[in-house]
Structure 1
Amino acid sequence: MATASFRWILQLHRDLHSGPIKLALMQSPSDHVAEKGYSSLLSFTVTDINTTVTKLMALGSQLYGTIKYEIHGKVAAMKCPDGYMLGLYEAA
């Protein structure tokens, strides 16, 4: 997923299917401009955040900060190769 280009998000609606998961993306209003080179954050719940971070880094993503250990679980932010941000969450 990290190596896929998200540039098409700005063009039109897309549905992505992966097993029982359906992810729908569509164009945001033109007045929603990304600041400082960041995009909207896509967040995902994962079963093993450490393994997921390792796999995404192998695909070219960068860990943005560190994995944070909160009372409710672990959270991390990843920056994709084309500048988009992914949020990861693993429940405690």
Structure 2
Amino acid sequence: VGVASSVNLFQNGLGLTVLRHTDDWAELCTSDGPDGSKFRLNLKSVESEAQLSSGYNQMLQFEVEDLDGTVAKCAQLGASLDGPIQYPAHGKVSVMRTDQG
């Protein structure tokens, strides 16, 4: 299983820029943050779950302008909500996942 569908989600659903991409590996980058910082994300295709990751969920957090629109766009690209959208004091929060994690 390659990384193409994950790259598609991060690029077209969340707006990351693809820096490098092969069948089994990709490097993506966020746009400049408010403080000028950038975040790089590397994706690698693997054959099975890492031995020490059983019971561990990897989580990435993104701040977006339009949560409802982003959730809809990511759903069209294969992601699904992992529970309902929540409304804590600091703003709307959603958790999404794909079949690739």
Quickly name the TM-score band, shorter chain normalised.
0.5 to 0.7
Structure with the higher fraction of residues in strand conformation:
1
Calculate percent identity across the aligned residue pairs.
Answer: 30
Alignment partner, residue 6 of structure 2: 4
Tell me the TM-score normalized by structure 1: 0.59
Counterparts in 2 of 1:43-82, with a 5 A limit?
43-82=61-100
Structure with the higher fraction of residues in helix conformation:
2
Cα distance, 1:4–1:65 mapped onto 2, change above 3 Å: same
| Alignment counterpart, residue 33 of structure 1, candidates 53, 70, 90 | 53
Question: How far has the Cα of 1:39 moved from its partner?
Answer: 3.1
C-alpha separation in 2, matches of 1:76 and 1:44: 10
Tell me the TM-score normalized by structure 2: 0.55
Cα distance, 1:17–1:57 mapped onto 2, change above 3 Å: same
Please, which runs of 5 or more residues in structure 2 have no aligned partner?
Answer: 8-24, 33-37, 45-49
Question: How far has the Cα of 1:18 moved from its partner?
Answer: 4.5
C-alpha separation in 2, matches of 1:61 and 1:26: 16
What is the number of equivalent residue pairs in this alignment? Answer: 72
2:70 match: secondary structure: helix
The RMSD of aligned alpha carbons is: 3.1
1:3 match: secondary structure: helix
Question: How far has the Cα of 1:17 moved from its partner?
Answer: 2.6
Cα distance, 1:16–1:31 mapped onto 2, change above 3 Å: same
